[in-house]
Amino acid sequence: MTPEQVITSTLESNELTYQDKGGGRFFVTLPGTKKLQTNCWLIVAEHALLIEAFVCRQPDENHENVYAYLLRRNAKLYGVHYTIDKAGDIYLIGRVNRDAVTSEELDRILGQVLEAADGDFNTLLELGFATAIRREWAWRTSRGESLANLQPFKQLVEED
Distance CA(77)–CA(151), nearest Å, equals 28
What is the pLDDT at residue 149? Answer: 87
Distance CA(97)–CA(116), nearest Å, equals 21
CB 78 within 8 A of CB 109: yes
Burial class for 22, CB neighbours closer than 10 Å (0-12, 13-18, 19+): exposed
Band of residue 39 on the pLDDT scale cut at 50, 70, 90: very high
3-state SS class at 85 = coil
pLDDT digits 0-9 by tens, 52-69: 999 999 999 999 999 999
Q: Among positive and negative, which fits the CA dihedral 52, 115, 78, 69? A: positive
Band of residue 158 on the pLDDT scale cut at 50, 70, 90: confident
What would the mean pLDDT of 114-118 be, rounded to a whole number? 97
Band of residue 34 on the pLDDT scale cut at 50, 70, 90: very high
> What are the extents of the domains in the chain?
3-129
Band of residue 159 on the pLDDT scale cut at 50, 70, 90: low
Q: Among positive and negative, which fits the CA dihedral 58, 61, 63, 69? A: negative
pLDDT digits 0-9 by tens, 127-153: 999 999 999 999 999 999 998 888 889
What is the pLDDT at residue 160? Answer: 55
3-state SS class at 22 = strand
What is the pLDDT at residue 157? Answer: 86
Would you give the DSSP letter of residue 151? G
> Tell me, which fold does domain 3-129 have in CATH?
Yope Regulator; Chain: A, (3.30.1460)
pLDDT digits 0-9 by tens, 73-115: 999 999 999 999 999 999 999 999 999 999 999 999 999 999 9
| Neighbour count for residue 5 (Cβ, 10 Å) | 10
Burial class for 26, CB neighbours closer than 10 Å (0-12, 13-18, 19+): buried
